[in-house]
Amino acid sequence: MPKVLVSDPIDQAGLEILSQVAQVDVKTNLPAEELIQIIPEYDALMIRSGTRVTKEIIDAGSQLKIIGRAGVGVDNVDVPAATRRGIIVVNSPEGNTIAAAEHAIAMMMGMSRFIADANLSVKSGKWDRKSFTGVEVYKKTLGVVGLGKIGAHVATVAQAMGMKLLAYDPFVSHERAEQLGCRLVDLDILFQEADYITLHLPKTPETTNLINEAALTKMKPTARIINCARGGIIDEKALVEALKHGKIAGAALDVYANEPLEADSPLRAVGKELLLTPHLGASTEEAQINVAIDVAEQIRDVLLGLPARSAVNIPGLRPDLLEQLRPYLQLAETLGNLVAQLAGGRIESLNIRLQGELATNQSQPIVVAALKGLLSHALQERVNYVNASLEAKERGIHVIETRDASIRDYTGSLHLAAKGSLGEHSVAGALLGDSEIRITNVDEFPVNVPPNRHMLFTMHRDMPGIIGKIGSLLGSFNVNIASMQVGRKIVRGDAVMVLSIDDPLPDGILAEILKVPGIRDAYTVTL
């Protein structure tokens, strides 16, 4: 039975799901050294924000198949290291959506009316109304940076409160923004026009210190900032200076560059203009249950050999779409394996052309499948859907993806062209019916053959007797031919011959085939 280590507190609902398929060990607050010692025993690791999964831990996890983060952010996981090891990393991007969005709204309102400081004032025995005169959000402009699920929900609630909406998100269409009541603008315009700015984007090299001194200078002196996304998006030192000198009116932070927030952080010294909470965005009873269930289900599915729906290091697919694409993934992997062996040795480039119906569907999983096939002959079980793209990149393989919906020879077909040590070769394939794979083209010669475990490909002159000579030669070596087909463009011109054979070719026979008059090249392939 697989073993799962749960190294942070997880709701019981998640533990019950994992217990259906695995032995579950709950060991929280483990020092890194101890985690490194025990992780080789486990097939899966489930965490929240408390456990830092470093490269050392990942390298020690020789049996790890999946790391599950019960929450949105995975910045406490070395995702590139996991990807190199072929370990799936999953999160729960939707489990705490409502909780995070509601906290952002609460922070905006709390900051506007100084609720936290007013509460402390009353509880200390004072009745000071004048010091806590706030502002209304009604008819104010809210700038939403990041229109994902959380940002979109914040926008919806804010609009219901009578706020005007600006948005910045380079990956969202104008149509989608308009559906949410947002005017899509450049970031500089948002900084300049917004009364409130709420951040809902991941921390990346591009977003680190996005709100810096230069950005703060562009804002209105009445502007207020809310960050319930990730720490490090705001330059905290610059924010403190802006608040102290009245360059902006206020800020509300739930996340910080370093957590827990340092005791001597200058943020703690700012007055009522700054509202601070200890990373409470996902801290609702409902959210904790939701993320635990979501990630536990994904770990369970992966341990059962099923796909994860929210993997951060492989193309995510809805179950219905995965089922639809599954035969094409097998097609892509088969063709990738075939063209790699035809091109030979070190592959320099791979051109992937999606044709017909495939040109309009989500293509990234098919591209990954082709890369997995391309590398499988050399890397065997070391390559999978998680690390195929990275392995290709690290080997300097130039990957080009193109689409051509106009090619309708089949409902959907795939064309791969690779350049390797044996030259440039291409293959194409399609599905017959729902799942029957056919190789439809080899080096631009039309064929129609099913893939076979052992295959022989020849490039030759189309001339009388050549097929018989190859058949006789194979027979003399006791090689049985399962099927044979010849593809040609013109009579007596160049041609390709594809043979499916029952067993691997004996040593020395390939050299004899190359001696046959008219044979230019011959390749054996094992699929």
CB 17 within 8 A of CB 303: no
β strands within 433-493, DSSP E = 436-442, 445-449, 454-461, 481-488
Asked about 259 being catalytic, the answer comes back as: yes
Residue the block writes with tokens 């799901």: 17
Instruction: Provide the residue type at 66 as one letter.
Output: I
Burial pattern 130-157, b for ≥16 Cβ within 10 A else e, equals eeeeebebeebbbbbbbbbbbbbbbbeb
CB 485 within 8 A of CB 449: yes
One of 279, 326, 403, 454 is an active-site residue; which one? 279
Q: How far apart are CA 72 and CA 49, in angstroms?
A: 10
3-state SS assignment for residue 167: strand
- For residues 383, 384, 390, 396, the Cα torsion angle rounded to the nearest 10 degrees is 40
What are the beta bridge partners of residue 276?
253
Does 450 sit behind a cis peptide bond, omega within 30 degrees of 0 on the bond before it? no
The helix-helix angle for 12-19 and 285-303 (nearest 10°) equals: 10
Handedness of CA 418, 422, 426, 427 (dihedral sign): negative
Asked about 279 being catalytic, the answer comes back as: yes
Burial pattern 350-386, b for ≥16 Cβ within 10 A else e, equals bbbbbbbebbebebebbbbbbbbbbbbbeeeeebbbb
- Phi then psi for residue 368, to 5 deg, are -60, -40
Q: How far apart are the first and last CA of the chain?
A: 31
Distances (CA, A) of 194 to 135, 205, 219, 248, 503: 15, 25, 8, 11, 71
One of 84, 85, 103, 230 is an active-site residue; which one? 230
CB 375 within 8 A of CB 341: no
One of 16, 178, 259, 286 is an active-site residue; which one? 259
Q: How far apart are CA 114 and CA 35, in angstroms?
A: 43
Distances (CA, A) of 104 to 99, 155, 252, 253, 257: 9, 11, 9, 9, 18
Asked about 230 being catalytic, the answer comes back as: yes
The helix-helix angle for 285-303 and 97-113 (nearest 10°) equals: 150
- Phi then psi for residue 293, to 5 deg, are -65, -45
Contacts with 139 (C-beta within 8 Å, 6 or more apart), sequence order: 162, 163, 164
Tokens at 128, concatenated:
């000071």
Contacts with 386 (C-beta within 8 Å, 6 or more apart), sequence order: 82, 83, 86, 87, 88, 311, 313, 314
Active-site residues, by number, are: 230, 259, 279
